[in-house]
Structures are given as C-alpha cells and as structure tokens.
Amino acid sequence: MRWIAVFFATLALNAASAQVPSAPVRAIAPFCSPGGVVCVSVAIDGDGRASYSVSRLGAPVIAPSRLGFMLTDAPKIERGLAIMGSSERAFDETWEQPWGERRLVRNQYRELSVAFAEREGLQRRFAVVFRVYDDGLGFRYEVPAQDGLATARISAELTEFVIADPGEAWWIPALEWNREEYLYNRTAIDAVGLAQTPITFRTEDGLHLSLHEAALVDYAGMNLSRAEGQRFRAMLTPGVTAASVVRDTPFLTPWRTLQISDNAAGLAMSNLILNLNEPNALGDVSFFEPMTYVGIWWEMHLGQASWASGERHGATTERAIRAIDFAADNGFGGVLIEGWNVGWDGNWFGNGWDFSFTQAYPDFDLERVAARAQARGVQIIGHHETGGNAYHYERQMRDGFALYQRLGVHVVKTGYVADAGQAQGEGPDGAPTMIWHESQAMVRHQQRVVEEAFAHGIAVNPHEPVKDTGLRRTYPNLVSREGARGMEFNAWGQPGNPPEHEANLVFTRLLAGPMDFTPGIFGMQTSSPDGVATTWAKQLALYVVIYSPIQMAADLIESYEANPGPFQFIRDAPSDWEESLVLNGEVGDYVTIARQERGGADWYLGAITDENPRVLETPLSFLAPGRRYRAHIYADAPDAHWRDGRERIVISAREVTRADVLTLRLAPGGGQAIRFEALPGRIRGS
Amino acid sequence: MRWIAVFFATLALNAASAQVPSAPVRAIAPFCSPGGVVCVSVAIDGDGRASYSVSRLGAPVIAPSRLGFMLTDAPKIERGLAIMGSSERAFDETWEQPWGERRLVRNQYRELSVAFAEREGLQRRFAVVFRVYDDGLGFRYEVPAQDGLATARISAELTEFVIADPGEAWWIPALEWNREEYLYNRTAIDAVGLAQTPITFRTEDGLHLSLHEAALVDYAGMNLSRAEGQRFRAMLTPGVTAASVVRDTPFLTPWRTLQISDNAAGLAMSNLILNLNEPNALGDVSFFEPMTYVGIWWEMHLGQASWASGERHGATTERAIRAIDFAADNGFGGVLIEGWNVGWDGNWFGNGWDFSFTQAYPDFDLERVAARAQARGVQIIGHHETGGNAYHYERQMRDGFALYQRLGVHVVKTGYVADAGQAQGEGPDGAPTMIWHESQAMVRHQQRVVEEAFAHGIAVNPHEPVKDTGLRRTYPNLVSREGARGMEFNAWGQPGNPPEHEANLVFTRLLAGPMDFTPGIFGMQTSSPDGVATTWAKQLALYVVIYSPIQMAADLIESYEANPGPFQFIRDAPSDWEESLVLNGEVGDYVTIARQERGGADWYLGAITDENPRVLETPLSFLAPGRRYRAHIYADAPDAHWRDGRERIVISAREVTRADVLTLRLAPGGGQAIRFEALPGRIRGS
C-alpha cells in the first residue's frame, strides 16, 4: 500500500477530519526576468507538494520539479504545504571586481520570494527565493528560525531539475565524491549517470543549459542523480553523520543555478553565478596581484625530480634561486616551489600526518630563497599540500601563513590529494573522521583557510578543492582553483587529456570560475602515450582561453630558454582583464575568446580546437574604434598536428583595425594566440 | 594533482622505498561452474586494485569490475592489495522446502574463495567467495576479525558490475529509498538511473541477466548507481550514521547475485538466490499452512469503508463473521481483517505512534470473531500496520503476537506505510531516528519481527517490506511480502497498473521471491481511470503466474457470489506446489507458467499477456505420462479486451494428455487459467 492510497481512501471518508495534510491547489503565475526572457512558475499540488518550473521565451526549459528536504530526525518536508504568501523585488547594479575576467559586472534581476508552510503537524516554514535573470536563474531555500525546526539535519534535498527537452549532456561522474579530475562524458541527457556540477546540456533545438550552484557556504556540495528519464535530483555529498548537512535555523542554502543561452558562447559569457554571491566581505585585497608564475613543479611530474628528500629532491635552494632569477629576468611575478617542506617522504596520499607547514627540508634555505625573491622583486608562491588531512592542517595553518607573511608571500597553493579527506569528527572524542572532498565539513574547512589566509595578507589557490561556486566575489583572496584535469595528466604514464579536453572545460568546469590549469608546455614528449596532445600554438592560446588571475608558465626553464619565439607570448600575456568576449564556440569542439588587458589598451585572442581542424573567420570589431594595432600572431603551421607536428608554429605580425576580419586556421589539436598591440596615434578621420 | 601522479612520480624515483602501496599484478584463471557454463576470473592491477569478471560459454558477461569498501573512519580498502591465496570446493545437494514453488531444490555449485590483504599500512584482510552455478553466480565479502579492522563502518561498497554487452534494462528507481512501489522503466542499459534490485537486463545478443542480492542480514540493502556507460556501482541504503553499515569483524556481506540465462524463462526458473541463503534455522514451521484467504480490505481501497473508526468502519464484528463464514463455505484458509485495532484515526502515515497492537476498536469483538473462526476452521490473518514506526512497534510486538497466538492466529500481515521509518537511534539518548526502508536498522528490525513471530508460532507477510533476498529458506515463517505495486494501485483515483505490469513483475521483482499481490478482482470499475486493466481470465491466471504461499482472493464477497463460474478457479487453485515450470515468456510481454499441486496430481497453468494479444502454442508434455486429465479452461472470449471486454470469459472443459498441444489465445491485457484435473486410471498401453 502507499500513502496516496491512504490519502484517497481517507479523504473520501473523512474529508472533514483533515487527518491527512491537505492544501488547496494553488499556483503562482509566471514571474519573469527584467527582459521578460526567462520566467519561473510555482505550484502546489493536491497533496500539498511544492514544485517550480522554468520557461524561456514561452518555451518550457524545466518541467515542473519538486522542492523539499528529507531529514534524519523528523518527517520530510514535502507534503501538506501551502503557499502562505510571496513578495517580489527588482535589482540592478554594476559592481567592480578587484581582479577578474572583466572589471565591471552588471547584476540585474527580478526576485520572487515564496513562503511555504506545513498546514498540519510541525507546521514548518521555509521560503524559496528565485532570482531571475535574462540568462538564467538561481533559487535557494531560506529556512527561518522556528520551534518545529531548531536544527535541520538534512539527509537529502528533494530539489529536482526536470529538463523539458531531449538533448545531449557533458558531465563528469560523482564516484566517491573524491575529486573533479575526470574526463568528460558526452551522452544523451537521459543517459547521464550520477554527475557532478557544473553539468552542461544542449537540447535538440539548440538551447544551451548549465546546472550548478552558487555560494556554497556551510553546506554540502550538490551532485545530480538522474532518477528517471530527464529528471535530475539534487544529491548532497555525504557528511560525517547520517545528515549531509546540519544547520541550525535560520539558514540559507546555496543557490541552485540554471544558466540558459541560445549558444555555447552565451554560457561562457554569463555572470550569473558570480552575481548570486554576496559582495566582497573582506575589503582590500590589493596585497594580491594577478600574475604569471613559474615553478619547481613540472620536473616532478616528469619524474626528473622528487617532492621527497634525497639526491633528486626538486626544491633545493639552488634550483629555487635559479627559478627566481628566471622569473625576474622575464617579468613573471612569482615562483612556486613544491616539496620545500618536511612530510613528503612517507605515504602522504590521503594521509598527510607527516607534513610540516613551517619546517623546510635541510637542502632548502627558506630565508635565503625569500631574500633573493624580494631582492629580485619576485614573490614566492607558497605551497601547502595536506594529503586531504584538513584536521592536521588546521592545527598548523596559522603558523604556516604567519611564516609566509613574514617572508612576503602573498599567494599559497593548497592541495588535498586524497580519496577522502579527514576532519574533526562529531563524536565526543572529536577524533578525525574521513570526509568527502565536497562535504559540509570540507566546505567549512576551506572557508576557515580562506579567512585565516586573509588575516595574513595571503591569497589561496586550492588544488583538489571544493568546486568553485563564485565565492571569489565574497572572498576575493580565493583567487583560483584546480578542480578539473590539469596539465599534469599529460605527464604520467597513462592516457593524458585528449585534444577536446580544453574545449570541454570552457563550457563546463570553467563556467564555475578560474582554473589554475598550468599551461605553456613546449616539451611535448612525456611518459604519457600521447604526451601533451596539443600544438604549441594551442598551448599559447590557453593563456587567453582559460581564465585565471594566477597563471603558470608550467614548463621547465630550459624549455623556455630554448624557444624564445613562442615564449614571448607567455611573457606578454596579462593575467587580469578589463573585458572578456567569447567570439564563437561549440561545447567540446572549439572556442575563440578575446580579452582586453586591464589597465591597458592591448587585446589578446585565443582560439583552440579539438582533434578537428577549423577555419574561423573572426571579425576584429571588439578592437577600439579609431586605433591601429599590431597583431602578433602565433599560428599553427599548415602541417601542424597534435600528433606529429606540435612544434610547427608560425609567428608573424601585421597591422589591423577593428574593420579587419582574420581567418584563423587551427590544426588538429591546434590553436592560435594573438596579441593586439595598440599602436600610438589615431586613425585619420576617426 | 591525483594519486596516480604521486604513484608514478614516486615509483619512478623511490621504487625501492615502497612508499606507495604496491602489489605484483596477479590473476586467478577462470574458475567455472559445474557444467563449465559460467566462469569467474579475479585479478590485481599494478596499483593493487582487485577486480573480478564473469564469462558465459567463453563470452564476457561482466567486464572487469572493482571490489572494495569505503569506510567513514579509515582509508578505503581498495588499493595496495595482494592475493594471499585461494581455495576451491564443490557442492551438490538437493533440499526440500517446507512450502514453496517446488518441493525439491538442487543446489549445485563450485566455490572459489580468494584471500586479499593490504601489503602496507593497516594490512587489512578480507576474502571474496564466489559460488558459481551453471545459471549464474553469487559472491560475498568475508571480513575476518583483525586488529586493523575491529569494526567496519562502511560508507560505501565499491563493488561494481560492468555489463559487457549493450542491451535493455527493466528497473525501478531508488528515489528516497522508501519503497519498491514504482512502475518499471524499460531503457537502454546505459540509460538506467539510480536503480533498485532486482534489475533485469537483456543484451543485444539475447542474453538475460538479473542483478540482485541474497541473504540480506544485518546489512544495508544494495541499490545500483550507474557511474558511466554500463558500469554499475553498489550503492548501499543510507544508515543512521554516516556509515550505511556498521559491523564488528568478523562478518559476512550479503551475496551479490547475477542470474544468467539464454531466455527470460530461465531467469524465472532459477533457484540461485534461494540456494545462496542458509538452510532452515528455525526448524518446524508446520504451524503455517499455505492458503488462499479473503479479507476486509478491498472495500477500504474502493472507499466503501474505512480503516478509521466511525460509521463506515470496515472491521466490524459482523463483517468479520460474514467473511469467516464465506471463507469456510468456499474452502479458504483465512480472513484478513484490516483496521481492527486502535490507531487509524490520526495521520498514521509515516507516524504510527497511535497504533495499539492489542486493543481492538469497540465495534470489533476480537474474542468473538476468533471463536467463530476456530469454530468454522478458518484462521484470522492478523494485521500489524506500523506506519513505518519500527521503534514503536518493537515495544508492543511481543504482546501483539502473544495475543494472536492465544487466538490461534498463525499468520500476520505487517505494514510499513511511510516515506522513512523510525528506529532506535545511535545517540546516547537512543531517541528514534528516521531510517530508510532498506537501511541496516530496518533490516535488523524485520529480522527481530520474524524471530519474535516464530516464538509465537506465527508467520509474517510484510508489506512495504525490506526487499526479498531469499531469506524464506532460512526463516520459513517469512512466507511472503509485498514489495512492488500490488492490486490496490488499481483502486485509487490515479493511473493504476498497466496491462504489462504483471509480465514485468514475473521477470523482475518476482525473481526475488513470493509476492502477496492480491489478485482475483472481478469488479473492474474503480476510481482509477482504467480501473483494473486486465480481463477476468487474466485475474484467474495470476493465481498460477504470481507465486505466493499466502494468496488473497481480494475482491468483495458480493463480487464472488455473483460470479460462481470464474470464482470456481480461485476456489480450486492451490497455494503450494510440487513443481513449477515456466513454459515460455518475454520480459514485460507475456509468460506461461505451469505448476503441479503439492501432495496432488493436478496441474495448473496460467498464461498472461501485456496490452498485446497472443496466441501461444503450449505442449502439455509437463503432464504425467500415462494419465488423462480434465482441463478446466478459463479463457478470454474472442471479443475480450482489457479496456472494454474484461468480463468476457469462456469456461470450458476437455480431456487432454501430455501428448496434446493447447493453443492459448490471450486477448489484449488478457490471460488464460487452466486446471488439469488428474482423472483416475491409466491410459491403456502406458
């Protein structure tokens, strides 16, 4: 038997006694974005279940999808609900990023807040707030303080997303919720497995969608479980108790976000996730300056040096000083030095108990290295690998950051290499317990790290991070993250990233925020069967295509010294932008992005393709009117190919104006990078 | 960065120091079933990960699939494993069921036990035991007592099932893990969502597979999460802590089962799940006699009476006595009386705190009803609805069973109507906590119920149960279950069961064990849009097609009194069998089953179809040689149809022998039921 039976049977006989929660069917008419493009509707069914639906230009995008929560210590919040009221407001502002892919961001939306309450029993209350933009929407639950729900122990969110039209999806699996480093699946929407977000859809009529979340704070990360057909259910990352999330009321959930666009470029241009985050809560973060950096790093992945101590130890004083001098000589801002600290000699993977964040290995003179860096006007990029042991790290991070602060370090790369992390348990003993990478406990931990770092004038760049949900707006010292398969996958004795990988990233992972991908490799032969499966020109293009305010020149110094021609583009490319434009692109196939240097007149362009060659006609109308530019062009040679002609690059220069149209010829696995150097003077007559 | 990176980088440099768990690659050659049909292989990869694979007649069925566990308080058990040894044995026995679909069951398998251990760190140990049959296999983990793992807190099983060939799947979703009452999805294998088991597959080359589990004891139920492609991962039902399962070592997991057959009929004929359960642990259960029963039940679903008290209360003394007399007059063994006890007047769904299991409503004289039942030689079928509140029920069930024992009741139907149950929490206060229907806590509860009931000479028939995993072999007073969409779904004001439903059940849910489906409805018009979407002949056929030792004649007494012709088959049909044969069938399309009465010479045949008509040529070679039978045939009339000709049934009789071939003509949504009455004497010359 089933509840509905009881409902109908009882209703038929005892309607008057209202023994079963019952609510009048009620709906809220479509509530639309400022431009009337995207609309959301809310309804209550005969059993008192709440649902929402989304349309764009009158066509359904999200079919009616349920709302609610399962709790570990009380009946679920789903049935017997009534709409108690609703309110609306409009908002429009333009705000400035301290650093970013664009300086000014417009945040214009209309907001609908719907208040729900149970009519019987615990009479619990919550609101769902929708912020509707012309390019999508976000909604979150607002749960007020109340007697019937002092503490919410959430075992599962019932939030659903029913994709209205069939189509394709690009997604990575949520396996042990351990990391984001998987290759992308491209399947039918109704063939998606248990997926992480962001997940990108293209419906049969060409509509592009991306489901993700914004402002993930003190909550568990959201994965998507496809129940049946195209019905996706929020699946929260497991917690340290039966509840994925434990929050005292009042509390807010993260925003569940849906970006909607006619084309792929529109997704990549959207500021929706950033806008749904709270404004800067820290204040001045000018201690952080966007930069390109080099490091003692790639040699470890190539197996030419080790993180661990010994004769092959990579992080020696001499190597560090050489890297600092190289950075200074080439105008780079920093040097990452991995393996400098004690703790790498055991099995640190998923363990991390041996790491010290203050004690250097004997062959690494931290003070001397720091002095040299300051003398040369270069920053050390600090490194805190934890092996996922947040518990151990939190007991040392203050000292670790204080040390770095004294040495003039303003950015630290953190790492959480593990299948499952470790954090303070809930038990009376508080012993460490295993936690998932995107559990509420790890979300809280990374928040504490960001705040502790800020207190020491330090920015953080987490690897194996909690996924990006736009928190850089609120905590602008959270400058970049990894959170996807990066360059190092091309170094190991296994299949690396395929030629389509970066064209997938732009329209999936990168919709969430900056990524420290670490491009710029010229030495293409590695232990990986295909080595680095791109052309040189594509490696250069990645400096424009993949946005990060802290961008690595990842190759060995020798590699750059041997190839000054293509290296010049890496020296020139800025890491901070006035504006960014996605000129064209298709998910997983190709993309062209143009960005204007922040505080400068130069523009930069990057175009990349997958395993297929492309010819892209590219109007330069983004260039300033009345100006002439010298285009420094780094293009694939006619016979370039990711498999057997990666180094074949043609470097040329020509003058252009915004009236020109460039024909970009990309080789298989290739790309093109262009610096548009603004020339003095104005065009006569303009 | 990712572990594999550390592995390769470290290995390259520090191979000797073995800082990373490492095991020699090793494999165990194919180990095959007694007939050499099904074979299993085991391997360890370079990272020390264990996997298994399955082949049938040399063709892969399960591609290499991983093994292991995630734990909440220790690193996962997966990498750095070595095979420490293995052992084999052969087994062949034939055992007798006290009641069942067949009296004698042969259990012939070859067993391979593989011992694994971590070579580093905690050096944890476990074995995987494979029992390989000619029609499939089961495997389970055996975890010995050990210092490195005194208590296993299992957050996830890593067990995978990679289906080697593409094909179709029939499955129901695992949504809130709340119940099994869903319609079946038929999708491509790589379009399965989060699914419950049993799940049935048909590969493109026609191989039929079913994944399920056997002997679910003190563990969480297994669902299947499709990670990517055709790779399924065991997903354990959540528990009352972050661990789905908490077990002190030593312990055994349930068997993970794979049934394999060339055709659908072979799946339905398999005894694999039953055989993987332990032998009878209770001893004599002769207090339970298989029976057909009537009840005060359908009128509530039709809305003609109520469970709750009041003028429409269904469970009155008078109604009960009338039902008892009707049962006795027609040779039925029992009468189910729902709503007899106090507790139905509130909102008991998912609540259940008001239920008393000893106090009857004032208008129900339990003693008088029991006396009448005994006087007429009929049993009362007891009823314990809990609203999912196992916590509350356990505090009363002993008294409830004792009362029933005193009154001569030997079967109790239990119920757990709720989205989530409630059981003793793990906290210091032991307050009740919400639990899923197939959580370890509910599995333990239903075990306690079965044992308590046995102590009182009572069998149980749980509705909204933990799924059947063959435990009836070990606990033969666990006689039947619901655990799927039953007849009542056709009574309510919503879409009921479609014509294909029962043809789905036979090859999915019913592979797990008996189901108290409650067939036999003649009153086809209900609040449901399509009413009962079968013909009368199909309703009769269900008494043979759907096996249950306790089978309901579910319709109103008036309905049977008005239709003595077709009712005769329900009166005749036994509930216990000497043998059962699946003569033909396709998943979700049609099936024909013949069963021989236990302790008798008569055979019964049931054939059903979905919305499509069928003509099935059916040889009667299953009948005994040298005997003549009178075939009492209940067939769809030529113009019968589930939509507008349900009552059109043709009842006829003819003499047949095993040499005959019957042509069964099934109407859309129809069926056919036949009693083969063995006639005295032998055929001359035989």
Residues of B with Cβ-Cβ distance to A175 under 8 angstroms: 227, 233
Distance from CA of B491 to the nearest CA of A (A): 8
Q: Residue A420's pLDDT is what?
A: 83
Q: Band the pLDDT of B469: cuts 50, 70, 90.
A: very high
Gap between the Cα atoms of B539 and B533, Å rounded: 10
Taking each helix axis as running N to C, give the angle between helix B536-545 and helix B564-572, from 0 to 180 degrees, rounded to the nearest 10. Answer: 0
For range B614-619, the mean pLDDT? 98
Q: Residue B15's pLDDT is what?
A: 29
CA distances from B522 to A440, A495, A601, B323, B539 (A): 55, 64, 84, 17, 8
Task: Give the model confidence (pLDDT) of A598-639 as tens digits.
Answer: 999 999 999 999 999 999 999 999 999 999 999 999 999 999
b/e per residue B9-45 (b: at least 16 CB within 10 A): bbbbbbeeeebbbbbeeeebebbbbeeebbbbbbebb
What stretches of A73-230 adopt beta strand conformation (E)? 81-96, 104-118, 125-133, 136-143, 151-157, 160-163, 167-171, 185-188, 199-203, 208-214, 222-228
Pairing of strands A590-597, A577-586: antiparallel
Sequence letter at residue A263: N
Helix (H, G, I), strand (E, B) or coil at A85: strand
Interface of B with A in 260-299 (CB under 8 A): none
Task: Report residue B297 as tokens.
Answer: 């039940």
Task: Give the model confidence (pLDDT) of A411-430 as tens digits.
Answer: 999 999 998 888 877 666 67
| Residue in chain A lying closest to B20 (CA) | A347
Q: Band the pLDDT of B225: cuts 50, 70, 90.
A: very high
Task: Give the model confidence (pLDDT) of A455-501 as tens digits.
Answer: 999 999 999 999 999 999 999 999 999 999 999 999 998 899 999 99
b/e per residue B215-231 (b: at least 16 CB within 10 A): bbbebbbbbbbbbbbbb
Q: Residue B493's pLDDT is what?
A: 83
Q: Band the pLDDT of B25: cuts 50, 70, 90.
A: low
Q: Residue A14's pLDDT is what?
A: 30
pLDDT-above-90 percentage for chain A: 88
Instruction: Check: CB of residue A100 under 8 Å from CB of residue A579.
Output: no
pLDDT-above-70 percentage for chain A: 95
Q: Residue B223's pLDDT is what?
A: 96
Q: Which residues contact B444 (CB under 8 A, 6 or more apart)?
A: B218
Instruction: Check: CB of residue B560 under 8 Å from CB of residue B570.
Output: yes
Q: Which of A225, A346, A482 sits opposite B19 (nearest CB)?
A: A346
What is the phi/psi pair of residue B486, to 5°?
A: -100, -170
CB burial class (10 A; 0-12, 13-18, 19+) of residue B329? exposed
Task: Report residue B620 as tokens.
Answer: 């009667």
Q: Band the pLDDT of A391: cuts 50, 70, 90.
A: very high
Q: What is the ipTM of this complex?
A: 0.87
- Of the residues A47, A196, A347, A385, the best mutation for testing chain B's interface (the one with the most B CB atoms within 10 Å of its CB) is A347
Q: Residue A425's pLDDT is what?
A: 73
Question: Is pLDDT larger for residue B514 or for residue B73?
Answer: B514
Residues of A with Cβ-Cβ distance to B185 under 8 angstroms: 228
Instruction: Check: CB of residue B414 under 8 Å from CB of residue B404.
Output: no
Asked if pLDDT for residue A15 goes beyond 80, the answer is: no
Gap between the Cα atoms of B624 and B627, Å rounded: 6
Taking each helix axis as running N to C, give the angle between helix A564-572 and helix A536-545, from 0 to 180 degrees, rounded to the nearest 10. Answer: 0
Q: Residue A3's pLDDT is what?
A: 34
Task: Give the model confidence (pLDDT) of A339-382 as tens digits.
Answer: 999 999 988 988 899 999 999 999 999 999 999 999 999 999 99
- Of the residues A11, A13, A168, the best mutation for testing chain B's interface (the one with the most B CB atoms within 10 Å of its CB) is A13
Asked if pLDDT for residue B350 goes beyond 90, the answer is: no
Q: Band the pLDDT of A16: cuts 50, 70, 90.
A: very low
Asked if pLDDT for residue A4 goes beyond 60, the answer is: no
Residues of A with Cβ-Cβ distance to B348 under 8 angstroms: 6
Task: Give the model confidence (pLDDT) of A45-61 as tens digits.
Answer: 988 999 999 999 999 99
Q: Decide if B303 touches A, using CB distance below 8 A.
A: yes
Of the candidates B59, B56, B158, B164, the residue with the CA atom closest to the CA atom of residue B116: B158
Q: Band the pLDDT of B177: cuts 50, 70, 90.
A: low
Q: Residue B563's pLDDT is what?
A: 98
Q: Residue A18's pLDDT is what?
A: 30
Q: Decide if A187 touches B, using CB distance below 8 A.
A: yes
**Whole-number average pLDDT of chain A:** 94
Interface of A with B in 309-368 (CB under 8 A): 310, 312, 345-351
Sequence letter at residue A604: Y
Question: Residue A411: which H helix or E strand, with range?
Answer: strand A411-415
Distance from CA of A352 to the nearest CA of B (A): 12
Q: Decide if B301 touches A, using CB distance below 8 A.
A: yes
The tally of CA atoms less than 13 A away on the side-chain side of residue A272 is 31
Question: Residue B649: which H helix or E strand, with range?
Answer: strand B649-656
Q: Residue A686's pLDDT is what?
A: 52
Distance from CA of B117 to the nearest CA of A (A): 18
Residues in chain A: 686
Interface of A with B in 235-254 (CB under 8 A): 238-242
Asked if pLDDT for residue B377 goes beyond 50, the answer is: yes
Of the candidates B532, B494, B545, the residue with the CA atom closest to the CA atom of residue B642: B532
Gap between the Cα atoms of A499 and A589, Å rounded: 9
CB contact under 8 A, B419 and A349: no
* pTM value > 0.95: no
For range B359-374, the mean pLDDT? 98
Q: Decide if A91 touches B, using CB distance below 8 A.
A: no
Q: How is residue A254 annotated by DSSP?
A: P
Task: Give the model confidence (pLDDT) of A579-588 as tens digits.
Answer: 999 999 999 9
> CA triplet B350, B353, B359: central angle to 5 degrees?
125
> CA triplet B172, B175, B178: central angle to 5 degrees?
95
CB contact under 8 A, A347 and B21: yes
Gap between the Cα atoms of B24 and B280, Å rounded: 43
For range B576-586, the mean pLDDT? 98
Q: Band the pLDDT of B277: cuts 50, 70, 90.
A: very high
Task: Give the model confidence (pLDDT) of B326-341 as tens digits.
Answer: 999 999 999 999 999 9
Report helix, strand and coil shares of chain A as percent, to nearest 5.
20, 35, 45
The one catalytic residue in B488, B502, B597, B677 is B488
User: For residue B304, how many other CB atoms are within 10 A of its CB?
Assistant: 14
Gap between the Cα atoms of B211 and B209, Å rounded: 7
**Whole-number average pLDDT of chain B:** 94
Instruction: Check: CB of residue A656 under 8 Å from CB of residue A571.
Output: no
Instruction: Check: CB of residue A314 under 8 Å from CB of residue A345.
Output: no
Question: Is pLDDT larger for residue A241 or for residue B215?
Answer: B215
Q: Decide if B424 touches A, using CB distance below 8 A.
A: no
Q: Residue A25's pLDDT is what?
A: 57
| Residue in chain B lying closest to A307 (CA) | B10
